[in-house]
A and B are shown apart, each in its own frame.
Chain A
Amino acid sequence: MAAEMALLKPISKFANTPRLTNPRAPSRPRFTTIRMSATAQPTAPKKPTEKAKKQAIKETLLAPRFYTTDFDEMEQLFNTEINKNLNQAEFEALLQEFKTDYNQTHFVRNKEFKEAADKIQGPLRQIFVEFLERSCTAEFSGFLLYKELGRRLKKTNPVVAEIFSLMSRDEARHAGFLNKGLSDFNLALDLGFLTKARKYTFFKPKFIFYATYLSEKIGYWRYITIYRHLKENPEYRLYPIFKYFENWCQDENRHGDFFSALMKAQPQFLNDWKAKLWSRFFCLSVYVTMYLNDCQRTAFYEGIGLNTKEFDMHVIIETNRTTARIFPAVLDVENPEFKRKLDRMVVINEKLIAVGETEDIPLVKNLKRIPLIAALASELLAAYLMPPIESGSVDFAEFEPQLVY
């Protein structure tokens, strides 16, 4: 299936982790450690061998991924010795913001969490657990990547390195807070195991910039939309974690700003026709992945009083508007045809899932999948080829001289 779908997964916060099923610590009855998300395996072997563990981490198409990149190239790109005219002013300004640490004392829990969790029963309980697990994994994958970048860039560009380290501080805090949330449901993600056992998806630095920029900005729009919706409709606020989203998502937004500055410091990633094609590609990948993922989980969004598709379209449109401040081209997502294409992809995706759930032998399943995959690919291609919108930072964009502020 579309390779681009695979990269999407880790991207949207909340949308990325595997299902958690395997209770893996039978000796501790009340507390279950989730080691990975497996495919739905009804019962875990009591003493899984190493081999069994490996099999249990099944990387499915839409399964989340951790990112890694070419750290040597990153070092080159931001080496202040090599790039003497690297504009450091924006990095200095961002460093100041991250050092301020607006949320230093924000993530403090109280007893409402456990009480609320105990009240969530029935099918919604499982959905909430999955939401926490996916969100935690997404935040944690950011932590790993930023932490390593902070370490690797220390010598060549201490300012950029420190920003990465401070962003990993934020991500760790977020992941930790979500993992504490899982403890309200008597679960915990084994993040150490995840670190070692997860597959890492390799992206060249410029792709990391596009993907993580979008990931952070779409994360901001998801969190703030949920927060503001629940502020208006508190009867749907089933769990106190949503109250923290307003301050929390400002971190996401700032992280996105940093990737904006990174790209502005490397204008070759923003100013040619290839950059425009990649920008559209990443936008499409991220939006489609979120849409398909969320449409498989409407119960969660409906559970907190949202219409899944309306919520997603709002997030996509706003993220796209934000992204148009930096990417040289974005998709025309406000064209009604774009949503129609997304909706057709949802239908095809549902059929694909249905094929997977049949009793057919693998060969037959694959044969049945071929026309569906072709249909999905053609929808994706058509969406990709829709007339784009020229965009970009006013510091670079060709339309700047005509712009009235």
Chain B
Amino acid sequence: MAMSSGGVGLLGSAAALLGSPVAGTSMRGHTNVAMWSCPLPPPFRHCDLRRHSSSLSSPPPSPPFVVAVAATDSSNQVSPTQQPSESKSNKYHFVVANAKFMLDEEEHFQELLFERLRNYGERNKEQDFWLVIEPKFLDNFPNITKRLRRPAVALVSTNATWITFMKLRLDRVLADSYEADSLEEALASNPIHVEFDKPANWVAPYPKYEYGWWEPFLPAGCRESKV
């Protein structure tokens, strides 16, 4: 059998791995730190809300945005060589779809977000991903908005690599990126109350995740008051 060629090695590593439930190879490599690299724009230059991925292209209108200093990697690495924390990425990557899909139907999405939040807590990482209900930045993506049911919900992160993964997972979402000079500006939203109809025939042997599970992921300040 083809597998038998690696027999001894396989058995050896099997034994090693099985010996301890938390064993594993080191996960702390720091390859692949930057998927994208931003040339540093001159500080305080006015520029467009720029788009960088290619899925939908037509130049957006150009509100004057001030671009601050740029762009360190903030990818999902436990890396000992992090850039100094005062230089923040000004580039935001997102996937977006209608609120029902993002918050109500795709329950594995909730699990992924809480898993990631737990991981950040365990490793003392600063949160770099948010859910934005009816984000203002969508105004600059007419090619997206014309295909989008509203209200819409975007998952926004400064980690481009992770957003690529989330696009792969969710599939039925549109992806793109933009720049903004502050977090508040990047995550600005038009306040709206989302509501979902109860599913017509819920046959799962467990209840749905509770309405409002997304609260911890909303940008601070935009948390919807509970009704």
Chain A contacts to B: CB under 8 angstroms: 66, 68-71, 89-90, 92-97, 99-102, 104-109, 140, 143-145, 147-148, 151, 165-166, 169, 172-173, 175-177, 179-180, 191-192, 195-196, 200, 202, 220, 224-225, 228-229, 231-232, 246-247, 250, 253, 257, 260-261, 306-307, 310-311, 313-314, 317-318, 325-326, 393-395, 403-405
Contact = CB atoms under 8 A, between A and B. Distances in A.
B196 interface: no
Which A-B residue pairs are the 9 nearest by beta carbons?
Answer: A228-B206, A172-B17, A93-B164, A176-B18, A101-B27, A107-B21, A93-B165, A325-B171, A229-B205
A93, A95, A177, most chain B CB atoms within 10 A = A93
Contact of A405 (B4, B98, B112, B169): B98
Given A148-B10, A307-B205, A325-B171, A89 B164 contact: yes
B6, B29, B32, B205, most chain A CB atoms within 10 A = B205
A173 B21 contact: yes
A394 B172 contact: yes
A216 B89 CA distance: 35
A261 B21 contact: no
Contacts of A106: 22
The dominant DSSP class at the A interface is: helix
Contacts of A92: 32, 35, 161, 164
Given A173-B24, A225-B204, 15 more contacts: A70-B2, A94-B168, A147-B10, A147-B14, A172-B18, A172-B23, A175-B18, A176-B21, A191-B18, A195-B10, A196-B7, A228-B205, A257-B168, A317-B203, A405-B96
Interface of B: 1-4, 6-7, 9-11, 13-15, 17-25, 27, 29, 32, 35, 75-78, 96-98, 101, 108, 111-112, 115-116, 118-119, 122, 147-149, 161-162, 164-165, 168-169, 171-174, 203-207
Nearest to B165: A93
Contacts of B203: 310, 313-314, 317
A144 B25 CA distance: 16
5 contacts: A93-B168, A175-B18, A231-B206, A318-B204, A325-B171
Contacts of B173: 405
Nearest to A152: B6
Contacts of B14: 140, 143-144, 147, 172, 191-192, 195
Nearest to B20: A176
A104 B172 contact: no
B161 A93 contact: yes
A109 B20 CA distance: 11
B205 A405 contact: no
A255 B216 CA distance: 27
A144 B3 contact: yes
B55 to A, nearest CB: 9
Contact of A176 (B17, B97, B207): B17
A104 to B, nearest CB: 6
A107 B149 CA distance: 41
Given A68-B3, A176-B19, A405 B174 contact: yes
A246 B112 CA distance: 11
A403 B76 contact: no
Nearest to A177: B21
Given A179-B18, A225-B205, A250 B115 contact: yes
Contacts of A89: 35, 164
Contacts of B7: 195-196
A202 B22 CA distance: 31
A192 B15 contact: yes
B164 A90 contact: yes
Contacts of B11: 192, 195
B161 A311 contact: no
Nearest to B30: A99
Given A200-B3, A231-B206, A232-B207, A173 B149 contact: no
